[in-house]
Chain A
Amino acid sequence: GQSLEQPSEVTAVEGAIVQINCTYQTSGFYGLSWYQQHDGGAPTFLSYNGLDGLEETGRFSSFLSRSDSYGYLLLQELQMKDSASYFCAVRDRDSNYQLIWGAGTKLIIKP
């Protein structure tokens, strides 16, 4: 079957660095996306990895290792506004390139 696993909750301190891991099992992996969703809000796109390696966008970076079926989202210089749920989502060829989503990681930031 197809599945994604990510921690349900992560706690970090303002100004620190946090890493949210995602492992996946899919039959036709194509790429890994990350989305942020604040409570009551819409998911917003953060990054996409189609190839192995690190993608950097400001304070956020995302990493992919296709051989390990593993990726992570790295958030630096954490701010209180980063408190949200973070979802990894896999694009899968065998699902007609639709996104298969993880259950999300709730990031709690303490002052």
Chain B
Amino acid sequence: DAGVTQSPTHLIKTRGQQVTLRCSPKSGHDTVSWYQQALGQGPQFIFQYYEEEERQRGNFPDRFSGHQFPNYSSELNVNALLLGDSALYLCASSHELGKNTGELFFGEGSRLTVL
């Protein structure tokens, strides 16, 4: 049973560029959440997708956008990259019915470096 997979694992961009990160959820999961984790910090919630719609959003600017596809996979797009966007971007999947326990399954993340 494949867990959550993310790509790419590492990437380097320059300020002003755009980036797209991809995530395939764990088999059987229909909900995908994206987090940003700066070095030495806890993950910060970006947004969550369910049934191909953004259901909830954290305190991130509109430069951060996403999409969920019919197969539940998801993309995170960041436009006009800033140096401060350098971080580990984590995708987490869950099943809508399992939301009460708060259990999320995370991918290994995509480490973005903005120069």
Contacts and interface: CB of A to CB of B under 8 A. Distances in A.
Q: Do A and B bind each other?
A: yes
Interface of A: 4, 31, 33, 40-45, 48, 50, 87, 89, 91, 95-104
Closest 10 CB pairs of A and B: A101-B42, A42-B106, A33-B102, A45-B103, A91-B102, A96-B56, A48-B101, A43-B106, A42-B108, A98-B45
A104 B100 contact: no
B108 A45 contact: no
A41 to B, nearest CB: 7
Contacts of B102: 31, 33, 48, 89, 91, 97, 99
Contact of A103 (B33, B42, B109): B42
Interface band, chain B: 20 to 34
A98 B48 contact: yes
A37 to B, nearest CB: 8
Interface string B23-48: 00000000001000000111111001
B16 interface: no
Nearest to A33: B102
Nearest to A42: B106
A103 B44 CA distance: 10
A61 B41 CA distance: 23
Contacts of B104: 43, 45, 99
